[in-house]
Structure 1
């Protein structure tokens, strides 16, 4: 089996590559084909835990031990993740795999860059942190990682009928072409037929398409099978004669005009987004998400007064795994606010401290904004507080980092849970399935529920020894994973993905969000209507 490859390139970040690739995965899967997604290199702090199958050795690649990081809890089995264990990939490829009805694995996103600062990213190769690659300059990595990328793509092609490949940014970034491992080099290796998508809502779409095409080498231009105009609002008849003129100039037809659609139900990959037309988006960069104050989503239903209905998620600079909150945006009657100032918390019944790629740094930022006092005041009034992963670590008494994993100094926490977190050189990366014990207070509805999610963290958290000796002990409601304060209104949990569990949503909000299958089928239907007849079939002919 050698898969046909369809590649989605874009004129820029935010053009719609991830969305379109996801829709194509479900479209081709609905034709009865075996489909897999692929993105050679992703830059995102939104990651998922997936299987890590063994790959054949690739000439010129790093030795296996150079690409693997330790994982697991002390005393909890081997300290090093074996091939065939678990690893990280970008969330976009995880969702694309689900859309393709495939089991997600690390080959679908062999290289993941997780920004830790404006000019520095942690490098994850085949699902595992690589300190060696992390230390290399950007342009020094490409030849070191290409053999692994090519081997991953070849393995997927051998197992599938169709591989849907997503590019990154723009293929026409001429300052990066020489070290490219994610756009044109992949297209050539896979002999892919390419779609070039642009965001017409930004303006300048035809110039973006023509300029991108013009900067490509002739052999790469020949791979462009069609242009796609994404996020179109208005009468499509008004586009003429531009598509015809563009085809005269390039020989490439415009094969689809995709209408603007808000609230499609997929998490946005590159930052904190909102369903409302007036809220902007964040393009991909080496820095972490920057969001507008009090960006929010809601609908007109008031909901029951005893259930959480107004949630504020603290949007610190190095926020990670924010895609796990997409289900909250889909819950009827729920208002979701991304908060960066104390004023953004006004009226919220629930505060969420999400994950962070730089916990101590984000905690310092939180204090600089005055959010620490606002959070502790909310908790003192009995308001609900939830900390997830890095947010859990912030809720404790102290952060200890003697190894310099995240910072060079220790820091006090917010003091809402009598816990202490020590950062260790190894990283926990694994799925989690667990059962909540007995919870009290506002989180009591979770008592006894079985839930599942995933862990990605370096810190290890335990009771604060001195406080425990004095009788101040956080209630451990899931062994080594979740703790609650004595009053019951503050809950911290290491597991990401709680709100993607239908039982958790039902227990906390008395409501359901649309299933992912519903979202994927709707996306597939959208592109089937938007593309010219026969184009999608011709791409894999």
Structure 2
């Protein structure tokens, strides 16, 4: 078996590569084909624990869309930014300290054989491999050391789609400019252009698609309407289409519409600079009784019913940032008034009394003092999927009592009861979660609680949208908007 490879390239970051690759994974899987995703190198602090270690969240979701078991070969190289000038390098699921110290431009020659081997193994085991590029394939300062775009396309003999975000403006120039900067042999790898996030009457685009084809020989094979409500988490970062503090939600979904029966629950997520695993909050975005917002200032927390401290790639520096904004006092005041506070992973560590780092992993510092815990950072990174049950909880979080959830741990450090302070209530066994004595503050190491239908139902009496329905919706969408026969042609025999 040698898989046909379909690759999604983009004119820029954020053009729509990740979600289009996810849609293609489900579309081909629904044709009865064995499908796997692949991205040679990903830069993201959104990661998931899979067989063999960790990979970028985008490839995790793509694997689920492909009905395949997520594993490290699908994203062999993951870069996790720890500062503006340094990233932790994860190679085939495990942190590689030697690569992390190596100058960036020197890594390509070292990692390429392992990247190519992972791709070749997936090709040998599947009918179709859907490959995602990164950024743009035409970055002329990076092309010589490229291991994620054209080098992968050439190695796999991939048929490529080049997608652009037409909502930004200049889409045809982006497409033509990208094509023009490629070598002639690389231009022949591109089978079609895709216009993404179009708003309006597609017929008004004429004659631009034909003019572009006259210039390049490449057809525009799809014009995809703007669709904010597709339900797939953004690959990285948060996009503020709905205003300064809004999550990337469609109008009317997740905005906390007042149905006349009761006001929405207002949940504010603290958006520190090294925020990680923020994609786990996406299910809340589609519950009509919830209003989600990002918080960067104390004013952003003023009306919150809940405050969430999410994961962090660098807990101590994000805690320093939080204090510099005055958010520490706002969070303490919120808890003192009986408001709910939830800390997840790095957020849990911040809620404790102290961070202790004798190994140079993250940094020392005082915590927020809302849970009587001390976190000691350790060189070994914890990576595992876990199923756990909440103990009997009290007060604000009592609805979770006895509820089981599936999640994953991905962190440095271990937290434990401060020996000189009153004990926290252990909310989960084996040091996974704690609750404050008065009941308002809950911290846990497990990511993924809002992706578990049992937790969502216990807290909100609602059913979250399932990932399977999201993936099927994506496949239906491209089936409707791609030109007839294009998707089948992409995996046809060479020369078709």
TM range (shorter): over 0.9
Asked if 1:457 is matched to 2:433, the reply is no
Match of 2:377, SS state, is: strand
Equivalent position of 1:524 in the other structure: 475
The answer as to whether partners of 1:37 and 1:163 remain within 8 angstroms in 2 is yes
Deviates more, 1:265-274 or 1:398-407: 265-274
Q: Which runs of 5+ in 2 are unaligned?
A: none
Equivalent position of 1:124 in the other structure: 90
Q: Which runs of 5+ in 1 are unaligned?
A: 53-86, 280-291
Distance 2:303 2:259 in 1: 13
Distance 2:471 2:399 in 1: 30
Equivalent position of 2:195 in the other structure: 229
Asked if 1:10 is matched to 2:10, the reply is yes
| 1:293, distance to aligned residue in structure 2 (A) | 3.7
Asked if 1:168 is matched to 2:134, the reply is yes
The answer as to whether partners of 1:318 and 1:362 remain within 8 angstroms in 2 is yes
Distance 2:290 2:65 in 1: 26
| 1:272, distance to aligned residue in structure 2 (A) | 1.4
The counterpart of 1:195, out of the listed 135, 139, 161, is: 161
Distance 1:332 1:108 in 2: 35
Deviations, residues 31-74 of structure 1 (Å, cap 9, x unaligned): 1101000000000000000002xxxxxxxxxxxxxxxxxxxxxx
The counterpart of 2:425, out of the listed 457, 470, 475, is: 475
Distance 2:39 2:268 in 1: 32
| 1:465, distance to aligned residue in structure 2 (A) | 1.3
Matches for 1:422-441 after TM superposition, within 5 Å: 422-441=376-395
Matches for 1:172-183 after TM superposition, within 5 Å: 172-183=138-149
Equivalent position of 1:283 in the other structure: none
Distance 1:32 1:2, change over 3 A: same
The answer as to whether partners of 2:256 and 2:264 remain within 8 angstroms in 1 is no
Match of 2:369, SS state, is: coil
| 1:331, distance to aligned residue in structure 2 (A) | 1.3
Q: Considering only aligned residues, what root-mean-square deviation do their CA atoms show, in Å?
A: 1.3
Asked if 1:354 is matched to 2:320, the reply is no
Matches for 1:274-423 after TM superposition, within 5 Å: 274=240, 277-279=241-243, 292-293=244-245, 297-302=254-259, 309-407=265-363, 410-423=364-377
Match of 2:379, SS state, is: strand
Deviations, residues 276-314 of structure 1 (Å, cap 9, x unaligned): x544xxxxxxxxxxxx44558504245876x98110000
| 1:466, distance to aligned residue in structure 2 (A) | 1.8
Higher RCO, Cα 8 Å, sep 6+? 1
| 1:346, distance to aligned residue in structure 2 (A) | 1.9
Match of 2:463, SS state, is: coil
Distance 1:365 1:193 in 2: 45
Deviations, residues 124-163 of structure 1 (Å, cap 9, x unaligned): 0000000000001110101111111011101111111000
Show structure 1 runs of 4+ deviating over 6 A.
Answer: none
Matches for 1:92-171 after TM superposition, within 5 Å: 92-171=58-137
The number of equivalent residue pairs is 486
